[in-house]
Amino acid sequence: MTSSPPILKTLLPGLGERVLVMGILNVTPDSFSDGGRFEGVEAARSQAGALVAEGAALVDIGGESTRPGHTPVSAEEEQARILPVIRDLAPRLAVPISVDTYKASTADAALAAGARIVNDVWGLQREPDIARVAAAHGAPVMVMHNRETIDPAIDIIADMLRFFERSLDIARRAGISDRDIVLDPGIGFGKSWAQHLEAMRRLPEIKALGFPVLVGVSRKSMLGRLHNAETKPVDRLFGSLSSHVLAATLGADIVRVHDVAPHVDALRVVDAVMRTAP
């Protein structure tokens, strides 16, 4: 697992050589940061074009908010939101599209419409058939750690390792190669405040498993907690940048962000220091 993943390397040729930026495109009415801003094909097309122009290596499209307290939507509603957008963007964009879903039927429809990667916030465990779908389409998977409940007493990294072991078993049984899997510690999901920080601090332990690592902290509420005053998600750029620079320094290969251009600039410094051979 030390070599670059073949399918991922084809889709993301810079993987492992520099930190890649995944641009977020939520086509939902209720996402915590940008809900309602990019609904509809024209608005989504404009935003996707801007993300790529700013340097995004891939665009992550989601049709269901996963913020705390979100209202679940049916697969039919999720697909009605994302499929027209994916069909429109897939032939236009110079970078691959990942679909942010945990539903097997949505992943199947999205991959058929032109998405190339599955980004599952439940690590293939909410609907394990999603792994078979990904394998059938030859799509890499991004496997995120998550929990139904927060338990401040547990060792969160030990919990992640057990979780990822289950996810990897599902993926392998479905025929997905280890070389087509990315791990995500799930910052902001199913963890206490202290566990969010612990997950960031101990990121090298996840990286040591031998897979590319994705981290997404962009505009999340844990950043707002560090401010002396109440902040809106859009006001958390500096916290997002510092979190992702830290994650990249600790081994993250991909960062998932709303603000692409500032991250591309900041990560050039990380790459120059951490990834350039002496």
- Point out the residues that are catalytic: 220, 256
Cα–Cα distance for residue pair 116/94, rounded to 1 Å:
12
SS (H, E, C) 146-177: CCCCCCCCCCHHHHHHHHHHHHHHHHHHHCCC
Of the candidates 160, 183, 272, 262, the one whose C-alpha atom is nearest the C-alpha of residue 218 is 262
Residues 6+ apart with CB under 8 A from 139: 7, 107, 111, 115, 116, 117, 118, 133, 180
Place of tokens 């927060």: 150
Number of other CB atoms surrounding residue 150 within 10 Å? 13
